[in-house]
Amino acid sequence: MPEKLKKKRHGTRVNDPSALGVGVSCSKNNIYGLLSHQTAKIRGFTLIEMLLTLAIIAILVSMAIPRYEQFVAHQDVSRVTQQIRDHLQLARNYAQTHQTTVQLCPVDTAKANDTNPTCSQETTWRAWVVAEVDNKGVVRQVIARSEPILSTIQITSGNRKMIKMNRQGGADGFDSTFTITSTQLLNINKQLTLASNGRIRE
């Protein structure tokens, strides 16, 4: 077989190490040195990448936490506001339907589940009840009770310590305003206004 065909078929064998590149030696020490150098480069690059990743994560977390706290505060304030609205509407509807007087007033949290709870005469509400009362204000029956209010929520009712709904569905006395505020983020709050005719607006 001709020499050219042999080279084409089997490839060119390089017996001279210098053919691998100018100034490159194939000794074991040099090969290990090159590999160690490349490994060090790879390790160093990976460490930088990890530090950058951690820095980015820290930035994202620092941005996300305040937004999450705001979201939770909004949810808590909205939930309590809706609960007060529902109970005011319930008191009005019950008074009209049963032609009776219904009161909504704050009670001590420790006595919120009493059979005949007593109004706390406070303008800051931690718990409350909706109850049918007689002409003297004595509780006939409890219609509804509030859920426990989180310590991060504050409810105030101005100067009103009690809301009474009459048989016509109106609220005795002057207009009442409930302010529901997050104690952690004071700028997050809502207001409910109860007009003397029993209408509720937010």
**Would you say residue 30 lies in a domain?**
no
Asked if residue 130 is part of any domain, the answer here is: yes
* C-alpha–C-alpha distance, residues 8 and 4, integer Å: 6
What does the pLDDT read at residue 18?
A: 47
Tally the domains of the chain: 1
For 141-173, what is each residue's pLDDT tens digit? Answer: 999 999 888 899 999 998 889 999 999 999 988
Strands, sheet with 128-133, edge to edge from the N-terminal-most edge strand? 139-145, 128-133, 101-106, 163-165
User: 38 or 187: whose pLDDT is higher?
Assistant: 187
Please provide the DSSP assignment of 83-140 as one string: HHHHHHHHHHHHHHHHTSEEEEEEB-GGGTT-SSPPB---SEES-EEEEEE-TT--EE
> What pLDDT is attached to residue 181?
96
Residue 51's pLDDT band, with cuts at 50, 70 and 90, is confident
Q: What is the pLDDT of residue 48?
A: 83
20 lies in a domain?
A: no
Q: Check whether 88 has a pLDDT greater than 70.
A: yes
Q: Is residue 187 part of a domain?
A: yes
pLDDT grade, residue 24 (50/70/90)? very low
pTM: 0.68
pLDDT the model gives residue 22: 46
Whether residue 15 lies inside any domain: the answer is no
Q: What is the mean pLDDT of residues 63-92?
A: 91
- The residue written with tokens 């002409």 in the block is 135
Average pLDDT over residues 108-137: 89
| Pairing label, strands 176-182, 153-156 | antiparallel
Domain-located, residue 83:
yes
pLDDT score of 21? 47
Has residue 61 got a pLDDT over 70?
A: yes
Candidates 89, 76, 102, 112; CA nearest to 185 is 76
pLDDT band at 26 (very low <50, low <70, confident <90, very high): low
DSSP SS3 for 153:
strand
Amino acid 17: pLDDT: 47
Structure tokens at 1: 């077989």
145: domain range?
A: 75-201
Q: How far is Cα 105 from Cα 87, in angstroms, rounded to an integer?
A: 11
134, pLDDT greater than 70? yes
Using alpha carbons, list the distances in angstroms from residue 196 to 14, 92, 134, 193.
Answer: 104, 11, 20, 10
The CATH number assigned to the domain holding 150 equals 3.55.40.10
Which residue's structure tokens are 């048989």? 167
Highest mean pLDDT among 39-43, 150-154, 173-177: 150-154
Instruction: Report if residue 60 sits inside a domain.
Output: no
DSSP labels, 158-194? TT-S-EEE-TTSPBSSS-EEEEEEESSSTT-EEEEEE
Q: What is the pLDDT of residue 35?
A: 54
Pick the range with the lowest mean pLDDT from 38-42, 120-124, 153-157, 194-198: 38-42
Whether 33 is covered by a domain: the verdict is no
Residue 145 is inside which H or E element, if any? strand 139-145
Between 101 and 186, the higher pLDDT residue? 101
